Amino acid sequence: MGVRLIAGLCLAAAGVTAQQQPTFRSGTRVVPVYATVQGPDGRLLVNLQKNDFEILDNGKPQIITSFSNQTEPIVSVAAWDVSTSLEPFALESRAAALSLVRALRPGDRLRFGSFGQEIAFSPLMTGDKPTLERIVTEELWFGGSTRLWGVLERSLSLVSQEGGRRVVITLTDGRPTTDPRSENDVLMAVHRADTMIYALGLDGAGLAGDIRAVAEQSGGGHAVLKGGPDLDREIEAVMVELHHQYLLGFTTDVSDGKLHALTVRTRVLGAKVRSRRGYVADPPR
């Protein structure tokens, strides 16, 4: 399911945050689930309440023990594809990176990385826009192979060390070459990291189906940017979506180490929910 970038998003007020702080039994863990909800017209629905949702773990309904519809900052790693296949789109790629920096909200933090001839990440997780703009301007060098799965696995590892609403944003054509890691490696990392992946492509370069599928499994999304005068608006639409998600949570004492299927549904007629589709039931940390 693709993500529709909608001009002039009309968002209702975020509403009053509803949260519960239950007492957890020893050996239990909270499984966080971020959910994006779109109405029948494609607009974001941002004022739903806990009773509007249902979570199923391996098909079994769960009690939602925590809930928030508050707008929250995001913590993100941006993994930019600078391989040879994206070299003809170098100007558009840098423009998209700068647009992402401009779209950061107060409290957001971002760490830039790139993958091509080598995989490299900036040392800073920061919300300082001049610093991030300098990194984008000076440190994106094109050429080399596309180790997409390897850089996503590394990005997930880096951002999982942070607290808050975590996301990996990658701009790529989604066509890995000479990559020792695999799509399945990244999927398992996604299910363990409680982190979304949002995949962006560029008009003309495209965005392959495998990375779209991984993004959907994570509860994130994907879009192909047309660029030009619409670029800032397109990136802004992505950031609006990332900041207006519901945080749902349920507790479980299952620690079988297996992959569990997750389903989130809403009782709002005609609405569509996008959320993570699984988690690994590891012992609580």
* C-alpha to C-alpha distance for 7 and 26, rounded to whole angstroms: 47
- Domain range list for the chain: 13-60+248-285, 74-243
Mean pLDDT, residues 233-237 taken together: 95
Mean pLDDT, residues 234-248 taken together: 94
- Note whether 76 and 107 are within 8 A (CB): no
Mean pLDDT, residues 63-92 taken together: 94
Q: How many CB atoms lie within 10 A of CB 92?
A: 20
* C-alpha to C-alpha distance for 69 and 102, rounded to whole angstroms: 24
pLDDT at site 27: 65
Percent of the chain beyond pLDDT 90? Answer: 76
Using the predicted structure, report yes or no on whether residue 7 has a pLDDT greater than 60: no
84: closest CA among 176, 4, 152, 215? 176
User: Residue type for 204, please?
Assistant: G
Using the predicted structure, report yes or no on whether residue 143 has a pLDDT greater than 80: yes
Mean pLDDT, residues 254-267 taken together: 94
Confidence of residue 25 (pLDDT cuts 50, 70, 90): very low
pLDDT at site 285: 64
- CATH for 74-243? 3.40.50.410
* C-alpha to C-alpha distance for 112 and 169, rounded to whole angstroms: 10
Q: Is the pTM of this model over 0.75?
A: yes
Least confident of 16-20, 29-33, 163-167, 178-182: 16-20
